[in-house]
């Protein structure tokens, strides 16, 4: 017997730029929004009956329309607004989900002044959120950071590792440690201040990365996750992905020069891939 399995449908890559003009200092938001709906859409998939299908074009228009009147201060609040709208206006659905990626624009600051109506894009760091909710359960909110690119030039080692006949890597007590980290943390409930939680988690991750005496990326990852949870009682777990962006020491001996950890070749491929979840115990 062949039957339809789990399914959903929605609209992806809805690009939105919003400008808040109510104060002398303008604010700019650039969001990339994905929306999806879940429910019993069997008749559409099997019979081509579109009677229960809200067009994805309508979902796109909803993003823009809600953004116009929204008082959301951050991507988490806007995601919850979108979900509430669809659950309220579309009785045929069982649930809704929203994913948002936020590109950061900051006011241009020069030696002369901060410019109230001119901005510079900062990155590659991107703030993210994925929110889902069904009619029978509370919203699940996973906030995050993507492409948080960080580097330390000291307090990083990798030695005493397992070796076999194909191991060529040399042990080191002093290396560069760089990564473009992805972090995702799960809220235990809808918060009144997602921005404060995000700032606290981010600070905890960065301070720990900078100060931790690292014996491996794995050890530093766990220390960072632990610090993030300690900084924010409103979250229950955090998942960290830290690709090890290698910087290989250049051999300058053919030129009659030494190289006491000064000259490196940054390389993206291949790279180590380290990830883990850190969560609160029972």
| pTM value > 0.85 | yes
Q: Is 179 assigned a catalytic role?
A: no
Distances (CA, A) of 96 to 50, 113, 157, 163: 18, 44, 45, 49
Q: Is 182 assigned a catalytic role?
A: no
User: Active-site residue among 18, 26, 38, 56?
Assistant: 56
User: Active-site residue among 60, 187, 212, 246?
Assistant: 246
CATH topology match: 9-137 vs 147-279: yes
Helix (H) or strand (E) holding 38: strand 27-39
Q: Is 152 assigned a catalytic role?
A: no
CA distance 29 to 105: 7
Share of the chain above pLDDT 90, in %: 88
pLDDT, tens digit, 9 for 90 and up, residues 122-139? 989 999 999 999 999 999
231 contacts 203 by C-beta, under 8 angstroms: yes
CA distance 79 to 234: 18
CA distance 45 to 43: 6
Where are the domains positioned within the chain? 9-137, 147-279
Q: Which CATH number fits domain 9-137: 3.10.270.10, 1.25.40.10, 3.40.190.10, 3.30.1510.10?
A: 3.10.270.10
Residue 112 — very low, low, confident or very high, per pLDDT cuts 50/70/90? confident
Residue 206 — very low, low, confident or very high, per pLDDT cuts 50/70/90? very high
| 40-49, 92-101, 189-198, 208-217: least confidently modelled range | 189-198
- Classified by CATH at the fold level, domain 147-279 comes out as Urate Oxidase (3.10.270)
| 147-161, 185-199, 216-230, 249-263: least confidently modelled range | 185-199
């Amino acid at each position: 017997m062949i039957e339809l399995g789990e399914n959903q449908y929605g609209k992806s890559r809805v690009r939105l730029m919003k400008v808040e003009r109510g104060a002398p200092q303008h604010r700019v938001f650039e969001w990339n929004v994905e929306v999806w709906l879940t429910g019993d859409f069997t008749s559409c998939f099997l019979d081509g009956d579109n009677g229960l299908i809200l067009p994805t074009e309508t979902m796109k228009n909803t993003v823009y329309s809600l953004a116009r009147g929204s008082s959301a201060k951050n991507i988490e609040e806007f995601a919850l607004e979108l979900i509430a709208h669809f659950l309220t206006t579309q009785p045929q659905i069982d649930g809704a989900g929203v994913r948002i990626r936020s590109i950061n624009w900051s006011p241009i600051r020069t030696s002369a002044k901060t410019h109230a109506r001119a901005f510079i894009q900062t990155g590659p760091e991107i703030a993210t959120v994925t929110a889902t909710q069904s009619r029978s359960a509370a919203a699940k909110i996973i906030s995050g950071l993507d492409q948080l690119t960080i580097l330390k030039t000291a307090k990083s080692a990798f030695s005493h590792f397992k070796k076999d006949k194909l191991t060529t890597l040399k042990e080191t007590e002093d290396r560069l440690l760089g990564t473009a980290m992805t972090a995702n943390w799960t809220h235990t409930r809808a918060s009144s201040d997602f921005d404060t939680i995000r700032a606290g988690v981010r600070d905890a991750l960065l301070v720990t990365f900078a100060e931790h005496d690292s014996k491996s990326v794995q050890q530093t990852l766990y220390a960072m996750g632990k610090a993030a949870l300690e900084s924010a009682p409103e979250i229950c777990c955090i998942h960290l992905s830290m690709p090890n962006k290698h910087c290989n020491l250049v051999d300058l001996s053919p030129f009659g020069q030494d190289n006491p950890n000064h000259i490196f070749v940054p390389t993206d491929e291949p790279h180590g891939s380290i990830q883990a979840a850190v969560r609160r115990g029972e």
